[in-house]
Structure 1
Amino acid sequence: MFVKSVNAAALAAIFIPPKDLDVNSPSSIRSVASTIAHGLMSYYSGNVTNTPETIAVFPQPHFWWQAGAAWGAMLDYSHYTGDSSYDEVIKQALVSQVGPNFDLMNPLHFGSEGNDDQAFWGFSILEAAERNFPQPDDNIPPWLDIAINTFNTMAPRWDETACGGGLAWQIFESNPNGMNYKNSVSNGGFFQLSARLARATGNATYYEWAKKVWDWSEKVGFIDPKTFIVYDGADRRDNCAELNRLSFSYSHGIYLYGAAVLYNYTEGDKVWADRTNNLLKGADLYFSPFDNSTNVMFEQACEPYGTCNNDMKSFKGYLSRFMWATTRMMPSTLGRVEELLKPSAAAAARACSGGAKGTECGQKWYVGGFDGVVGLGQQMTALETVQGLLSQRAPPPFKAGEIKHVKG
């Protein structure tokens, strides 16, 4: 049974060191998730300084998009554990970034806002909508309307002047680094937003867009038709002829969950079942780096080489988030997801054994403990992987007819 509210003091009273996580015990999972979430929130002080420049965002070197991702992780925390301690801070953060037109176009962050960044904030806004998280206060539209407005800014950017379609990485010509690059995370983000809006509203227009983005992603080669590995992107200046064959876990997770949502939306369409299953098989790329770390997740493009930047150190968390979420849209995937993510959660928890209190999270989960590399991304990846163990005990995302469109 889902526990609607878990008192934070009660969680503290049954403190369990993360390294001692029992992946089959809900009380152990909640306690460990609480500790890791507290570690994540220790990086945030925007609600204390309380200025437009600091609310919702995390200190440098963390970009705006990673803040949106962090609030998504904290929404998951609230939903899966039942601990509402952070809900007011989460709500303040989300509302602060909606922008003057309520579409997640915030002029304060235009310098670093690309299509992928906006998509990650959109994921968090949709989480709030799909869970009937407390609505914004007066003069701010409901969460679902903000998500729809976000889609309405992204769709006109679909560019058929090169590569036959697709979104560029960036939005603004004043930020030329990426205007010529069409990448899987931006287009996967648009695909997932479209899929979730189709399910959340019942409006088939969003479904048509989701199919369009998927078909283009396959045609241009971002989704390998044989291995279902998701590649990073291509350049519009050569009409996307040469793929950048780097692969990152977060792009894979984004397409995976979008496909699972469409399986649910279509009430079991075999096409989306096959695509979801194939992407889940393709996700094996991000597990089992060594013989002694079977089914432990790793960021294969950079972790073994020590080349992960701050962004990349958070990527595993989004694959975990979307794999757990996939099980609620397509229950037949649960067995394989648990086979991969239970060992990963145990390894992630063992990695959260550093710092003065022995609870800070490291980066590499396959080393058997704490590797000394700490940060916001490391807290997020561990949190999403551990708290997702509770996903079957929480209500699935609401859909059309169940989502509140009005206040109260």
Structure 2
Amino acid sequence: MMIIDENNSINETLNWAEVTATRLVICYYNETSGIWLNELAWQSGNTLESLANFLSHLDSPLKYVFNNTFIKTGMFIGGDCFDDYQWWLLGWLQAYSVDQNINYLHRAADIYDIIVDKAWNVTQCSGGIQWCPTNGYKNAITNELFLSCSMRLHPYATILGKSSTYYLNWALKEWQWFENSGIINADYLINDGLNSNDNICVNNNQTTWTYNQGVILSGLALLYNATNNKTLLNIAQNIADATIQKLTYSNGILKEPCEPNCDNDQKLFKGIFVRHLSYLLPYLIDPIHIQKYTLFLQQNAISVSMTNRCELDGLFGLFWNNTSINNCDSTRDTATTSSVLDLFLSIVNTQQQITTSNWILLGMGNCMDDQNFSMSNFYKNDVTENICRTTADNDIGAIAYDYELKCNGNGFCRIRTLSDRSLTPTGWTYEVGNAITVTRTNKIILTNCYLRTN
């Protein structure tokens, strides 16, 4: 029996990111519209960034989504407001960082130019980006996105025909306004926005959404990197610390303030927070904070991996602290699953590992040996993953198992075993194979290979 120790080279978190990203594309990406099923349009821009983050770690045929989405969508696919535009701006920038198609960079820059031209105004709250073309509300997320977008575009200023400090100057202008606006409260949490009365603007004390605590982190990190102003890192750490202290369950698992009754917009917020926290981490210089945030991300990823994935469709739900026996609750959809993909990728970015059970995810595809041979196995169609794993647990000769979950929910299990034919479980079929171990997978989509670790 093959035993994997804690120093194994299997990157289970990256493997989980791969199978999650693949399922999101194969089963839920609409090639005709260029956006994901069951997501709001702005959320698909966010999922595009998540997919690009995954593809920055592992080459995959999923990259075709970039060009298809570019062709099928326009600049304003995200919605009617300036925050909607900017989720897609960040998605295209991340796609460009992975696949050097200059069209992606230009689309991001074109969106930015429209925001600068149409959204910054001083008639209300003395500056800042307003929420929508027809709504002058100054909210946190639209301005945080503008700070982050400015700094993400900053390295490309010359390529885009701007002065070398064009985007940096806008970022500095945005941060000066944001910091002085009062939108960061006394607890170092960011409220939803500002109330305005005769151009006197004050914090509206509305909900401190997790994504409002997240997007600001990457903007401040990049601004620090450009200016060497360490105060920016201190502020970012204060916001992250406050989030971990006040927007979590008692066991440290991230909690959206709306739980358990979040709407479709809010389902994606936690993933945005952890993604931008992971963007902040490489710029930190304090080892205590680096360790604190890394452990926080690991703790959340372990909780999600153990309790949150529905075996009926492979989707993850809203609750990262799922203490019920129902991991197939009605909250799960592509948005909540995209959020969990962000969580897995945040762990990959920290170069840490998680191990959640005595079966480690070896990778996507069927379980094979180095010669691409298959072991002898028991197999059964129309079986749940829980039954598949339980049967493997009970087979003393089981080395690994692979489980295929099709988009329609049909499941197929194959248990790779050293047991002989006489030990075939009732209702299962025995198949002879040539291999005596499992070392790799063949990358067949919608199939996961799990390796026994004890």
Partner of 1:323: 277
Partner of 1:312: 266
Would you identify which runs of 4 or more consecutive aligned residues in structure 1 move more than 4 Å? 22-26
Indicate whether 1:167 and 2:129 are aligned. Answer: yes
Partner of 1:78: 55
Indicate whether 1:227 and 2:183 are aligned. Answer: no
Unaligned 5+ segments in structure 1 are 1-21, 174-178, 395-408
Partner of 2:236: 276
Task: Mark the CA change 1:320 to 1:91 in structure 2 (over 3 Å): closer, same or farther.
Answer: farther
User: Contact 2:268/2:336 (CA < 8 Å) preserved in 1?
Assistant: yes
Q: By how many angstroms is 1:324 displaced?
A: 1.0
Task: Determine which of 299, 314, 318 is the counterpart of 1:363.
Answer: 318
Unaligned 5+ segments in structure 2 are 1-5, 159-163, 353-454
Deviation digits for residues 116-144 of structure 1 (CA, Å, limit 9, x no counterpart): 11111111112123x2x2233xxxx4433
User: Contact 1:29/1:386 (CA < 8 Å) preserved in 2?
Assistant: yes
- For these two proteins, the number of residue pairs brought into alignment is 335
Q: By how many angstroms is 1:189 displaced?
A: 0.6
Letter in 2 for 1:270: K
Partner of 1:342: 298
Q: Output the CA distance in 1 between the equivalents of 2:7 and 2:272.
A: 19
Q: Output the CA distance in 1 between the equivalents of 2:301 and 2:24.
A: 16
Which has the larger helix fraction?
A: 1
> When the two structures are superposed, what TM-score results if normalisation uses the length of structure 1?
0.75
- 1:177-256 equivalence runs, <5 A: 179-201=135-157, 203-224=164-185, 226-236=186-196, 239=199, 240-241=201-202, 243-256=204-217
Partner of 1:405: none
Deviation digits for residues 138-193 of structure 1 (CA, Å, limit 9, x no counterpart): xxx4433332222211112201111111222112x3xxxxx032111111111111
Partner of 1:385: 343
User: Contact 1:148/1:197 (CA < 8 Å) preserved in 2?
Assistant: yes
Letter in 2 for 1:150: I
SS at match of 2:317: coil
Which has the larger strand fraction?
A: 2
Deviation digits for residues 50-90 of structure 1 (CA, Å, limit 9, x no counterpart): 2xxx2x22335x3210110111111111113x141210113
Partner of 1:399: none
Q: By how many angstroms is 1:93 displaced?
A: 1.2
Partner of 2:380: none
Letter in 2 for 1:245: Q
Q: Output the CA distance in 1 between the equivalents of 2:320 and 2:351.
A: 26
Indicate whether 1:36 and 2:23 are aligned. Answer: no
User: Contact 2:120/2:129 (CA < 8 Å) preserved in 1?
Assistant: yes
User: Contact 1:361/1:382 (CA < 8 Å) preserved in 2?
Assistant: yes
SS at match of 1:302: coil
Q: Output the CA distance in 1 between the equivalents of 2:176 and 2:121.
A: 15
Task: Mark the CA change 1:233 to 1:342 in structure 2 (over 3 Å): closer, same or farther.
Answer: same
User: Contact 1:223/1:231 (CA < 8 Å) preserved in 2?
Assistant: yes
- 1:95-106 equivalence runs, <5 A: 95-97=71-73, 99=74, 104-106=75-77
Deviation digits for residues 344-370 of structure 1 (CA, Å, limit 9, x no counterpart): 11112123332426x331211112462
Q: By how many angstroms is 1:114 displaced?
A: 0.8
Partner of 1:119: 86
Q: Output the CA distance in 2 between the equivalents of 1:365 and 1:143.
A: 33
Q: CA RMSD in A?
A: 2.6
